[in-house]
Amino acid sequence: MNNITIGQYIPGDSWLHRLDPRIKLFSLVALLVGTFIIPISTELTAIIPMVAIFIGMMILITSSGIPLKKVINGLRPIVFLLTFTFFIQLFFISGGTLLASFDFHLSVTSILAIILLIIFYHWSKKYIKARILYFLLITFLVFFVQYLLPYINLYSYTLNIYDEGLMRAGFIFVRITNVIIMTSLLTFTTMTTDLNYAIESLLKPLKWIKVPVDVIAMMLSLTLRYIPTLLGETEKIMKAQASRGVDFKESKFKDKVIQIISLLIPVFVISFKRAEDLGNAMEVRGYVIGAKRTKVDEYNIGLSDVLSVIVVLLILGAIIATRVL
């Protein structure tokens, strides 16, 4: 549960924390557009900008004082997706220069070795701190034992690694990583109230066509705010049930379904209770849906905000130029 970084805010006094929330949200949208404008290609003209964006994200993390471990934890939920995507591209993209060729065997010995590896992984992962690297190591060993143990062979296949497949797999891997890091940096350095103000400000032109921008902004900010809250409550319930003998990891599939149901019921009850408390608190403070609201803090765009927008627009313009030219 602690690996979910969406909605979490890390207090700090870095230049990124002090940046105007409207500028941060606009910069995020512009960088995301630039990231997806870059075409999936095996040429260096497409891969270099993606790697440059990744390096830029690392510089932002360092300068903002956000712990790198916290950012890496945010990548844990998508490790399987990243690994699966990487190997799919590696297996099925053929073109360019053949770099290596491997003969793999699904044999009795390799299947037994894979089963033992999976059992060992699930037993030992709770003792390993660097679980992402450990998962990648086990994935590599799954293929290695198929290459190493051809005895009593049942099925054989050949993996041809081409330079285009390798570069394409790396491109997609870095793209997904960049997107997760960008969105995590926004929530890490921006409070929910500031994010609400930024969304409302950037969507203000939609008021001309009678779109309830303030209501939409409030809903989005509350959703982001309560994701880590509900995850924290879920973790407390899981620990309470574990102290009563419930095992979410080692039980049978039928028992896990029953345990999940018993977990969802109190989570829903807590969600409705918190929603009711929040509604009462907002009503007491004079919140009226659709009414004009005043703000305690008024944000002024400074020199650092202007420079940030200029840099982001230059990056976006350079990406568009490489695509058009």
pLDDT in tens, 24-51: 989 999 999 988 888 876 666 667 888 8
Chain-centroid distance, C-alpha 171: 17
pLDDT band at residue 271 using 50, 70 and 90 as cut-offs: confident
Continuous segment of H or E residues that includes residue 261: helix 253-284
Task: List the structure tokens of 20.
Answer: 């105007």
- pLDDT tops 70 at residue 127: yes
What's the pLDDT score for residue 121?
Answer: 87
Helix ranges (H only) for 149-252 are 163-189, 192-202, 213-243
What's the pLDDT score for residue 229?
Answer: 77
What's the pLDDT score for residue 314?
Answer: 92
Least confident of 56-70, 280-294, 309-323: 280-294
Residues 133-146 have a mean pLDDT of 85
Q: Report whether 70 contacts 10 (CB < 8 A).
A: yes
| Most confident of the ranges 56-60, 236-240, 245-249, 273-277 | 56-60
What's the pLDDT score for residue 249?
Answer: 60
Chain-centroid distance, C-alpha 109: 37
Q: Any bridge partners for residue 161, and if so which?
A: 100
- pLDDT tops 80 at residue 185: yes
Nearest CA to 223 out of 173, 286, 271 is that of: 271
What's the pLDDT score for residue 256?
Answer: 66
Least confident of 197-206, 231-240, 293-302: 293-302
- pLDDT tops 70 at residue 252: no
- pLDDT tops 60 at residue 227: yes
| Global pTM value | 0.73
Question: Domain spans of the chain?
Answer: 15-190+303-324
Q: Report whether 174 contacts 166 (CB < 8 A).
A: no
Distance CA(147)–CA(39), nearest Å, equals 34
Query: Taking phi first (over 0 means left), then psi (-120 to 50 degrees means alpha), and beta for anything else, what does residue 210 get?
Result: left
User: pLDDT tens digits, residue range 69-113?
Assistant: 888 877 777 877 888 888 888 778 777 778 888 888 888 888 899
Residue 287: CB atoms within 10 A of its CB come to 12
pLDDT band at residue 4 using 50, 70 and 90 as cut-offs: low
Residues 286-301 have a mean pLDDT of 72
What's the pLDDT score for residue 13?
Answer: 84
Residue 264 main-chain phi, psi, to 5 deg: -70, -35
pLDDT band at residue 310 using 50, 70 and 90 as cut-offs: very high
Which residues have a Cβ under 8 Å from the Cβ of 176 and sit 6 or more positions away?
78, 81, 82, 85
- pLDDT tops 70 at residue 248: no
Q: Any bridge partners for residue 295, and if so which?
A: none
Residue 49: CB atoms within 10 A of its CB come to 19
Chain-centroid distance, C-alpha 173: 12
Task: List the structure tokens of 114.
Answer: 């894979």
Residues 228-254 have a mean pLDDT of 71
Distance CA(196)–CA(224), nearest Å, equals 10
Between residues 208 and 193, the one the model is more confident about: 208
Distance CA(184)–CA(218), nearest Å, equals 20
